Amino acid sequence: MKKILYTIILLLIVASACKQKPKPDIQTEQDNFYIADFNADSAYAYIAQQTAFGPRVPNTPAHKACADYLIGKMQSFSDTLMVQDFTVKAYDGTLLYGKNIIACFHPEQKSRILLGAHWDSRPYADHDPNPANHRTPIDGANDGASGVGVLMEIARQLSIKHPNIGIDIIFFDVEDYGAPQNSEESYQGEFWCLGSQHWAKNQHVRNYNARFGILLDMVGGENAVFTREGTSNFYAPDILNKVWNIATRLGYSAFFKNTETPPITDDHLYINRLTNIPMIDIIEYDASSSTGFNRHWHTLNDNLTNIDKNTLLAVGKVTLTTVYNEK
């Protein structure tokens, strides 16, 4: 009787197993969805090295030293590297000597994606709670260095596993040299994002075009939330959908929220406005902050101690997975 019972049970198990189809893996050939590798420790180390030079304010020795470092590292990862030297006037008439650093992968490919971040740091901690610090330059670990650090790790990964299409990574300079918040004078003109404005008017390749662009700014804060920022949503809603859907698929919906938030002025504004390349901005939105930015924005607390590897991993993995799944 026991043998018969065991036989019946065994037959039921086999029959049940035959009926159950295996759950499709997220990387099956049928699905054809590739999940990128990304090392958050590596990205963090790149951020640490940038901040070790000191504030990367244009026209300073720290700025030059960091430029040399970035150029050397990106040259080792990319197929070709270009440095776009330029001179611009700041809000107060100061001549600023900038460098846009452009790393290209598969330069022969006509179909391309543009990835960007700004590598300079703010000369003024004009939102610091202590007014005595308002004219002190900041480390800019999050505001600047985090986006660059993530893109450096992406560049390293691209040098290991080549993408299907061309990729251009641009580190824009002189993004953060706008007039101090507490300035008594009024300045007329667009004095933020001067490096991206220059590149948009003087692209490194004649008739340059890209399918789309992704800008990374302030992507290292703990428990950061990235929303559908207004400028991105106006110019590039389809790209927002693409990236946010991938974030959800990878399990990062806690970071990437489907919430619409007000438009901001950042490098992507000028890329969209002047080149017609649809570019989104992955940038933290903090609803509890009066500015909407990370609570350490433009303060002396924007330093390495407030960089979170979990956030770096989420942004890096989502961005690189987006790149690898473009055919």
Phi, psi of 89, rounded to the nearest 5 degrees = -95, 135
Give the pLDDT band of residue 297 (cuts 50, 70, 90). very high
Confidence check: pLDDT of 164 > 60: yes
pTM over the 0.85 mark = yes
Task: Return mean pLDDT, the chain.
Answer: 92
Q: Give the mean pLDDT of 231-259.
A: 98
pLDDT band at 125 (very low <50, low <70, confident <90, very high): very high
Helices 40-52 & 61-77 angle (0-180, nearest 10): 150
The pLDDT value given to residue 244: 98
**pLDDT for 189:** 85
Q: Locate the domains of the chain by residue range.
A: 46-180+210-324
Q: What percent of the chain has pLDDT over 70?
A: 91
pLDDT for 30 beyond 60: no
* All residues at 6 or more sequence positions from 166 whose CB lies less than 8 Å from its CB, including other chains: 104, 105, 106, 107, 108, 109, 110, 111, 112, 113
β-partners of residue 260 are 228
pLDDT at position 241, please? 98
Q: Which of 124-138, 176-190, 264-278, 305-319 has the lowest average pLDDT?
A: 176-190
Is residue 148's pLDDT more than 80? yes
Considering only CA atoms, which of 294, 286, 243 is closest in space to residue 261?
A: 286
User: Tell me, what's the pLDDT at 187?
Assistant: 84
CA quadruple 86, 87, 90, 93: dihedral, nearest 10: -170
Strand 166-172 to 95-105 pairing: antiparallel
289-316 b/e with 16+ CB inside 10 Å = b? eeebbbbbbbbbbbbbebbbbebbbbbb
Query: What confidence tens digit (pLDDT) does each residue in 33-54 have?
Result: 999 999 999 999 999 999 999 9
pLDDT at 257 > cutoff 80: yes
- Tell me what pLDDT residue 205 has: 95
By the 10 Å C-beta count (0-12 exposed, 13-18 middle, 19+ buried), 70 is classed as buried
For residues 16-32, give the mean pLDDT.
45
Say whether pLDDT at 278 is over 80.
yes
Q: What's the token pair of residue 133?
A: 């610090």
| The pLDDT of residue 273 is above 90 | yes
pLDDT in tens, 74-91: 999 999 999 999 999 999
pLDDT confidence tier of residue 168, bands split at 50, 70 and 90 = very high
Predicted local distance difference test score (pLDDT) of residue 10: 38
46-180+210-324, superfamily in CATH?
Zn peptidases (3.40.630.10)
**How far apart are alpha carbons 216 and 150 in whole angstroms?**
8
Q: Quick one: pLDDT at residue 183?
A: 80
- Find the mean pLDDT for residues 239-254: 98
Query: Residues 6 or more apart from 218 whose CB is under 8 A from it?
Result: 142, 143, 146, 147, 224, 283, 284, 293, 294, 297
Model confidence at 13, pLDDT cuts 50, 70, 90, reads very low
